Amino acid sequence: MRKGLLSIGVALLLGGCVVAGPPPPPPRAVIATPPPAPPAAPVEVVPPAPGIGLVWVPGHYAWNGVAYVWRPGTWVAPARPGHVWVPGHWQAVAGGYVWVEGHWRR
């Protein structure tokens, strides 16, 4: 009789258990809205070069995920003698804009 009661008790306990299935799929990644068109760059006052042979790299707007923030220009040394700086720019693409980095060109 004791075995019978124990079996009934175990059955009652197990009857109230919830068997966990596979976990639910993770939520879909939220794709951020592409940035709107960048604002027009302000007119920069280019300070005198702090040294000889430096090249002015103009400032630009950078997208921080929420808004455009201004990155001021700076004087830099060329990568190699005779190279010129090609400024970066915002390129319109389907659905928004992407930043094309500036680079040195011979």
pLDDT by residue (tens digit) across 26-55?
544 433 466 788 999 999 999 999 999 999
pTM: 0.64
Whose CA is closest to 40, among 106, 101, 89?
89
Chain centroid, CA 20 distance in Å? 37
Cα separation, 101 vs 87, in Å, equals 7
H or E segment and range at residue 85: strand 84-86
pLDDT at 13: 43
Higher pLDDT, 98 or 59: 59
Q: Percent of the chain at pLDDT above 70?
A: 68
* pLDDT of 1 over the 80 cut: no
Whose CA is closest to 63, among 104, 29, 100?
100
Other Cβ atoms within 10 Å of 38 Cβ, number: 15
pLDDT by residue (tens digit) across 61-96?
998 888 899 999 999 999 898 899 999 999 888 888
List the chain domain ranges: 50-106
